Structure 1
């Protein structure tokens, strides 16, 4: 009973928050989008449209995550990837040619009308009965003088204690209705969101194309990573090992003729071997950290946080381990986000939340830095998004100017 009451209350408060966001956020973004697109022929929109549509996408992605976490409703994204070197004009053309973007824009007016109503109803069912109880407790004396009907509670005219008790009875009925209807109404809101934001058949074909491109990006990234490893081995550890071999050969020749010089070369060879070992360890850590392979994602993220030059707080709730490729992608995505928080956001503290629920691995990284982070071409977040896209994952960024910044990552997977 207590758990049910807590769930109903939480759903009602969530609905109230979503009602405010649906009206204010969707209205603001819709107006900004329309104005920006209208001004594209004048040239101004070429600069503003990618920024505005990126904000719309971030807002829609956040609502997808909310729908999954609060309602268990999955809404897969089907956006076309943006080339990292695309300029403003090309980015604008790609975005305006993306059906998923237009679907987002069509969802905004639905969200601020029907979406607002479907979230306001659960909130009203939770809060409106309180007014009826307050009237019965004596507030009716404040709103009416007892001789004329000057206040209505729903369809009950309040004129005295008797009608105030009737209002309380109606409030009790509404509260009983709320007990059963609030979770259903909130779920209906998320289903409405999926009906508008979710892909149709054409977009499912587009989704296949997007996944093909992300897989190709993953292959290209892997090839670049192999070239980097080959270069690092050639210029680092291999060079040191060759130098060490040459030093040992010289030592062999000088052992009898110049023992002092031989000892110096032996010390140099020993230092080269130690440096090569450090470089190999760093290289291995960059490919697949040993703590990730041995202890799993949770401990690997904790170890990552311990190496940060700022205060950190890590919360992990994982009942098992995801597949190794997913685990590695999540680790390096979190690592990149933490690097951004320290280097670019100038944060003094970060919070990392890692958990698995409803078939989704979710990681949220929050910092108290200066904010202003965007998923732009060439940015670290764009690389994170491409990395997650390989596994059908999504990235959402909330980063107002002045902070705080919250980066949420979500990857569908099962735990072992």
Structure 2
């Protein structure tokens, strides 16, 4: 919205925002006082339940003002909170306490009162009398603009802060990717050593003994050659398993949906696979999504006590979305086991996210989202780290 070309309707809307901000300023101040009191009481545990109620209320207040500031300024005013949807109880409060945006919200609550009584109240005072109508006409835009800039400064990170956060995220995901790649290499080495390598060594010894016996004891040599053929088939199976753990052939040949359907066939419970993955997915994204789904389905088979499960694959707003659900006992905690944390780390390497909804008694829904834009630097083949 350009101030110089603002219509009467635009000025009236800004005046309405000023009235709403003035109306919310008193409860905002009360909310700040109660927030501080609850934080003090949380030392004695008494304030913990109160904080669990006040936190979403405080964020609602901030969200309303972010929306108004975004409309006035004509730009998005993002919240940039740390995700805590999968956490519960005290764990959610710990995440919120470590979130810089939480403290910005509190600082904003302190500033909201004087800002409202200066900018917003001035707009309403100028709007009421006829004499000051001309002043209101020219002043409402600048007053609400600078008021909204103050909200933006308090309620959203600046460019430098966003870049610093981005660097921190990239550093963390890079380290996690390197750790995952090292663990994957150790797994491959162990599988080769304990499986195919041992069988091939046995095969070599069997062939050597058969060669010595072929003239003296042809029947024994024939049995040993039969045994060697069986050992070679088993070694080939071990190698196929290793290759499947690196990048399943069905994934490369038929795509993500077909690969997930193949996974579902191996589970002891019926799994319904629906939807379809977008075509032309970058190979690293496809692989990350596949192994994430594989881990989720393995968890269903091991822990959920479910009678059925389902996988829904789709795309929305440039994101590959996969929902893995089951009708089991629920209560899944992504922070308590290495499997789900491994899924989150694998997706984080591609700016992906994992959300878990698992109330007691079920159902459990695990939502996996990964950017699938082939032009994204995080989804190019060079980004693949295992």
Corresponding residue to 2:187 among 225, 228, 241: 228
Q: Residues 391, 100 of structure 1: CA spacing in aligned structure 2 closer, same or farther, 3 A cutoff?
A: farther
Q: Distance in 2 between matches of 1:36 and 1:375?
A: 28
Q: Deviations over 1:80-123 (max 9, x none)?
A: 99xxxxxxx9998776333256679999xxxxxxxxxxxxxxxx
- What are the ranges of 5 or more consecutive residues in structure 2 without an aligned counterpart? 1-34, 64-75, 85-89, 109-151, 376-386
C-alpha distance in structure 1 between counterparts of 2:207 and 2:232, whole Å:
11
Change (3 A) 1:343 1:96: same
Cα shift readout 1:356-406 (whole Å, capped 9, x = no counterpart): 122111111111011111220534222111111111111111111000111
| Structure 1 Cα separation of the partners of residues 228 and 320 of structure 2 | 47
The residue number in structure 2 matching 1:97 is 98
Which residue in 2 is equivalent to 1:274? 233
Distance 1:208 1:254 in 2: 67
Alignment pair present for 1:356 and 2:315: yes
Q: How does 1:1-400 map to 2 (within 5 A)?
A: 41-42=43-44, 79=82, 96-99=97-100, 200-201=158-159, 202-400=161-359
* Shift, 1:340, TM fit: 1.3
Q: Which has the higher contact order (CA 8 A, sep 6+)?
A: 1
Whole-Å separation in 2 of the counterparts to 1:268 and 1:275: 11
**By how many angstroms is 1:211 displaced?**
2.0
Determine if contact 2:78/2:156 at 8 Å carries over to the other structure: yes
Partner of 2:4: none
96-105 or 363-372, which deviates more: 96-105
Q: Tell me, what secondary structure is at the counterpart of 1:356?
A: strand
| SS, match of residue 274 in structure 2 | strand
Per the normalisation by structure 1, the TM-score is: 0.57
Deviation (angstroms), 1:325: 0.5
Instruction: Say if 1:286 and 1:309 are closer, same or farther in 2 by CA, change over 3 A.
Output: same
Q: 1:35 to 1:293 in 2, by over 3 A?
A: farther
What secondary structure is seen at the aligned counterpart in 2 of 1:272? helix
Post-superposition Cα deviations, 1:249-299, rounded to whole Å, max 9, x if no partner, equal 111111112223212221221121111111111111111110001111111
- Contact between 1:297 and 1:327, CA under 8 Å: does it hold in 2? yes
Change (3 A) 1:322 1:39: farther
User: Using the alignment, how far apart are the partners of 2:197 and 2:316 within structure 1?
Assistant: 45
Question: 8 Å contact 1:304–1:335 — kept in the other structure?
Answer: yes
Compute the TM-score of the two structures, normalised by the length of structure 2: 0.61
CA distance in 2, matches of 1:277, 1:342: 27
Q: Matched residue of 1:395: which SS? A: strand
Asked if the contact 1:323–1:415 (Cα under 8 Å) also holds between the matched residues in 2, the reply is yes
- C-alpha displacement at 1:36, in angstroms? 9.1
In structure 2, C-alpha distance between the alignment counterparts of 1:279 and 1:35, rounded to whole Å: 62
State the Cα distance separating 1:315 from its structure 2 match.
1.3
Equivalent pairs, count: 275
CA positional deviation for 1:42: 4.6
Task: Sort the Cα spacing of 1:323 and 1:330 in 2 relative to 1 into closer, same or farther, 3 A.
Answer: same
Judging changes above 3 Å, is the alpha-carbon distance between structure 1 residues 264 and 93 closer, same or farther for their aligned structure 2 residues?
same
